[in-house]
Amino acid sequence: MSDDRRLDVLRAIVEDYVSTGEPVGSRALVERHNLGVSPATIRNDMAALEEGGYIAQPHTSAGRVPTDKGYRVFVDRLATVKPLSAPEKRAIGQLLEDAVDLDDVVDRSVRLLAQLTHQVAVVQYPSLRRSALRHIELVPVGARHLLVVLITDTGRVEQRTLETPGDVDELVVVRLRAAVNAHVAGRRLAELGDAVEDLAAAFGPQDGALLRQVVDVVAETLAQESEERVVLAGTANLARGGGQDFVRTIGPVLEALEEQVVLLRLLSEMAEDAASVSVRIGRETQHDGLVETSFVTSGYGDEGGASLARVGAIGPLRMDYPGTMASVRAVARYLTRILAG
């Protein structure tokens, strides 16, 4: 669709429908928008938009509402994502910068985004596979147990306990800790195996065996699927913002949100989008439970361009797309800044 005037009509229909929740008629468009054409011309444009599948008439003698296709054109033609106000930016910065660790950052972020967007907020934990290792701590726990603590550059902390074949020598543990950290600090977790192979040769057979135990524990930690986690907040917003028709279909949406595998698949697919803010609308989610929703996401965690995880908001098709996109992008940028610091 290339007719600029019809794009203006479509934009006006989307904005009015998002604002009022009521089907939009030609008379309302004339009264609320300075489109510079006659009511008859607007009716013709609306007929063309309906024929093209961009708007639809929900029932006889009603105005028109946007379709998935119409929302997609509206989102794609947004010239810019409107910036947040200075008070909103300050509020985000103050809330997130006071966080004490990664769990606190994620918890604050998801609650804040739910408040900003009035949607369901989603924050994905940074993946261990895409993180770099900042430090490994080895702590003797009793005579024959060793606590292995992994700390990543994103602030994520994982810990495991291993049983040693013999009594733990604290001097050996100190030596192992220093040697391991000297070789692995700053490396991506997927690169650790090669990094410590040469290191094992520097220790005697017994100490080398303990080193390999530590490496095996690290590898097992990386392999666990539980590392892929998402946190939700604002589920109650679904019952408030989508209108009565949406509330009647809320059950399948809630069921889909409970399936983390669904959200993780969507987040993974949206990570491949070139845009800084990605939007999936209705059936683009490819999940029956989410056909009445839209999902707005942005990557965070790496100022170099490749994101470690994503943050987003899910809400009804009739959402404030410019405002939601701006909020998601702003929270993602603050998350990146905090994790980089």
- Looking at the fold, whether 107 and 254 belong to one and the same domain comes out as yes
- Looking at the fold, whether 210 and 266 belong to one and the same domain comes out as no
Which letter does DSSP use for residue 127 in this model? P
- Looking at the fold, whether 9 and 142 belong to one and the same domain comes out as no
- Report CA-CA distances (Å) from 9 to 77, 163, 223, 232: 13, 69, 52, 36
- Looking at the fold, whether 179 and 265 belong to one and the same domain comes out as no
Task: List, in sequence order, the alpha helices (H) in the chain.
Answer: 4-20, 26-32, 39-51, 68-76, 86-97, 102-117, 170-184, 192-200, 205-223, 238-241, 243-248, 250-258, 260-270, 321-340
What is the per-residue pLDDT for 112? 93
Task: With respect to residue 62, please indicate whether it lies within any of the assigned structural domains.
Answer: yes
Question: Domain end: 192, 226, 260, which one?
Answer: 226
The count of structural domains within the chain is 3
- Residue 45 CB burial class (10 angstroms; 0-12, 13-18, ≥19): buried
Task: With respect to residue 81, please indicate whether it lies within any of the assigned structural domains.
Answer: no
- Looking at the fold, whether 204 and 232 belong to one and the same domain comes out as no
Question: Domain end: 15, 41, 76, which one?
Answer: 76
- Looking at the fold, whether 115 and 241 belong to one and the same domain comes out as yes
Span 59-83, pLDDT tens digits? 776 789 999 999 999 999 886 667 7
- Looking at the fold, whether 188 and 52 belong to one and the same domain comes out as no
- Residue 297 backbone dihedrals phi, psi, to 5 degrees: -135, 160
What is the per-residue pLDDT for 182? 82
Is residue 280 classed as helix, strand or coil in its secondary structure? strand
Domain that holds residue 17: 4-76
Which residue pairs, CB below 8 angstroms and at least 24 apart, start in 42-48? 42/9, 45/3, 45/5, 45/6, 45/9, 46/9, 46/13, 48/3, 48/6
Task: With respect to residue 97, please indicate whether it lies within any of the assigned structural domains.
Answer: yes
- Looking at the fold, whether 321 and 241 belong to one and the same domain comes out as yes
Nearest CA among 267, 270, 274, 277 for reference residue 80? 277
CATH number, position 219: 3.30.390.60
- Looking at the fold, whether 242 and 336 belong to one and the same domain comes out as yes
What is the per-residue pLDDT for 200? 65
What is the per-residue pLDDT for 121? 96
CATH number, position 46: 1.10.10.10
Which letter does DSSP use for residue 82 in this model? P
Token couple for 250: 């809320």
What is the per-residue pLDDT for 246? 66
- Looking at the fold, whether 117 and 262 belong to one and the same domain comes out as yes
pTM for this entry: 0.77
Residues of the chain with pLDDT under 50: 225-226
- Looking at the fold, whether 22 and 46 belong to one and the same domain comes out as yes
CATH number, position 257: 3.30.450.40
- Looking at the fold, whether 336 and 232 belong to one and the same domain comes out as yes
- Residue 315 CB burial class (10 angstroms; 0-12, 13-18, ≥19): buried
Quickly tell me which residue has 């969507």 as its tokens: 266
